[in-house]
Chains A and B, each alone.
Chain A
Amino acid sequence: MNRDLIAGAVLLAIAGAYYVSIGTIADSTLSDEVGAAGLPLALAGLLALIALVMMARAVLATRAARRAGGPVAAVEDDEEGDASVPRALGLLLIGAAYVVLLPYAGYVLSVALLIAAVAFYEGAARSWVIPAAAIGGAALYWAIFVKLLGVHQPAGILVQGWLS
């Protein structure tokens, strides 16, 4: 299946899910002629229309290319791009782990672990440099955000419990 056909199907699914969710919008006596659900309804319809046109165009383009017996590379998958998907998702998972860890481990420890994990994941050589960069980076960001900018960052439930 070519990429535009998949993209069209995904857009159609988004339009469908959005349309279903419109049902959760409550009616209001303060509502105007259009209502709170007015624009969302129009957007759901518009996205569904775009998705259907995109899918139709993708099918027609593939058929035309096959009928002509010419190259269909333009409408087929980008293997190089697909191969990098698991790597990119892995990086995102590290970010998600940071979000989960932050309230428990606190800012300093979480940032240090984040820097170390990303550096290791991205292929940094196993050496003392990884922990050194992680500790240095965490100290630098703590100084900038907490001390300099006065931003309240989580101290960490586990860290606080351990300290007390």
Chain B
Amino acid sequence: MALVTTFWDIVHLLTGTPLFLVAILGLTWGILGGALPGISASITMALVLPFTYTMDPAMAIALLACVYIGAEYGGSIPAILIRTPGTNSSAATVIDGYEMNRQGRAGEALGISLMSGVIGSLFGLLMLAMLTEPLSWLALAFKPTSYFALGILGLSVIASMGGDSLLKGLAAAVIGLMIATVGTDPISGVTRFTFGVPDLLSGIEPVVVMVGLFALTELMSQSGSTSVTQLGNSIRIRLPGWEMMRTLRRSQIIGCILGLFEGLTPGGGGSVAAFMSYNEARRWSKTPEKFGKGSEEGIAAPETANNTVASTALIPLLSFGIPSSNSTAVLLGGLLMHGLLPGPRLFEQNPQVIDSLYVGSLIAIIAQIGVGVIILPACVWMVNRPRPYRSGFIFALILSGLYTLNNSTFDLGLALALGLVGYFMRLARFPVLPMILGVVLGHMVESSYRRSLVLSGGDFHIFVEDPIAVGLLGAALLFVTFSLAREYREARRTKLQEAHQ
């Protein structure tokens, strides 16, 4: 009888807490969204962002983190089954994953991807819990000048690493900052660029910008596409045994290490980590000749790496408020939407948010093994739906979700307009992340800049008197210079190749 009571206590604890449900729902949505080709992890998160508006902040942030974890695994499903990565970071998984599928080992490939993802996520979460709070204390030494410099560094890094042209990245960042100036001035309280529209008085919400630039732009880009994807309905995941896990150990360690460093590096992201891990795993493998021909290690390394990044990318975000990728920019949007500012005060004033984030992520990572197996038929079913219906349902979901923000059709119109902007930016090969970051960081950059000058009585020397600000601005300048040098080198190489031909 006592045993039964204890059992029901555990069941009640697990099912009675909303965090458990939030983690499972987030994970499930993440896997489903990530499995849909063209719907990246950031889009999957952006789609769910409006729903979190009315949620408890701790639950909202945990939900977004769990969606991110799920989407990183979900992206590998179409990568293995139809040679189309569901997310950018699963592109490296295509190489050996699809090859294994062709050899009739799709279930085995999915199992390796799932377990490697779990190992990478657990390692990433451990690093997140260990490193974030100590790093965030550094932020206590930050003055307004340092925060201004930090914002400039974040924008410079993302602008210089976001695309093929630094100028385009910078232009996008400036437009983002321009959007952030709409609304009420943070210092004097006068209105700017509102043109008499009451809906603009409180500014343009980053969520609307993210949904417009990520989700609507993607939907517009896919319009008219005739590509048909069909998966076999009989696929079942085969989880790897101990023997196989021992074989994969080396590539998983490589994935963990590179995932940690790439997560900490602004602009690094899961795709860079995945490709680097793939190359390193091949270099250190006992059987490098198997890579590209259906190597198990060729799946384990990139999947471990991109799942590690899903957690470690939160370290610079939670410590300093600098998102290093699209997905973490969405998460920052979620934090700001709930009035939560990253840094040490987040740990002091809102420990429940951090606790929920860690525990929710842990639940999602462990549950991923079961949910990943159970949900595969649903993923296959969703991917097999005709694209016209899929687009209709996604469009309706986007517009329905956005309306929940302010119960205003103005937000819907704004998001559609931003979708158009994002579509033309994509055509002209402008990266959208610097623009989103401009919107998200705009308030911090402007208010820190102006507070610094208020403190110094208008003397610009204040920026060179703060060693942290000097260091950060110097780093921003270095990133821009290196990016320019890289562009110059590439242009010269192309010219030489053309002359040679």
Contact = CB atoms under 8 A, between A and B. Distances in A.
Given A119-B391, A122-B224, A85 B427 contact: yes
B312 to A, nearest CB: 32
Interface residues of A, number: 79
Contact of B187 (A32, A82, A107, A149): A32
A145 B404 contact: yes
Contact of A34 (B193, B219, B393, B450): B450
A71 interface: yes
Which among A6, A35, A71 has the highest number of chain B CB atoms within 10 Å?
Answer: A35
Nearest to B491: A61
Given A99-B409, A111-B396, A149-B51, A36 B175 contact: no
Contacts of B423: 88, 92
A160 interface: no
Contacts of A102: 403, 409, 412
Nearest to A145: B400
A46 B409 contact: no
Interface residues of B, number: 63
Interface in B418-455: 419-420, 423, 427-430, 446, 449-450, 453-454
B388 interface: yes
B409 A84 contact: no
Given A39-B446, A99-B409, A84 B223 contact: yes
A54 B450 CA distance: 30
A40 B453 contact: no
B404 A151 contact: yes
B127 interface: no
Contacts of A138: 396
A19 to B, nearest CB: 11
A119 B387 CA distance: 8
B101 to A, nearest CB: 28
B190 A26 contact: yes
A33 B399 contact: no
B38 to A, nearest CB: 13
Helix, strand, loop or mixed for chain B's interface?
helix
B428 A50 contact: no
Interface in A78-96: 78, 81-82, 84-85, 87-92, 94-96
B454 A32 contact: yes
Interface stretch (B12-20, B139-147, B166-174, B243-251): B166-174
A21 interface: yes
A102 B413 CA distance: 12
B190 A25 contact: yes
29 contacts: A11-B171, A18-B178, A18-B193, A24-B193, A24-B195, A25-B191, A31-B187, A32-B454, A33-B457, A34-B449, A36-B190, A39-B181, A54-B171, A68-B498, A70-B498, A78-B427, A89-B220, A98-B399, A115-B392, A117-B392, A118-B392, A120-B388, A121-B223, A122-B224, A123-B224, A124-B389, A137-B396, A138-B396, A153-B400
Closest 8 CB pairs of A and B: A122-B388, A118-B392, A88-B220, A124-B388, A33-B458, A28-B188, A36-B185, A87-B224
Interface of B: 51, 54, 167-168, 170-171, 174-175, 177-178, 181, 185, 187-193, 195, 216, 219-221, 223-224, 226, 386-389, 391-393, 395-397, 399-400, 403-404, 407, 409, 412-413, 416, 419-420, 423, 427-430, 446, 449-450, 453-454, 457-458, 494, 498-499
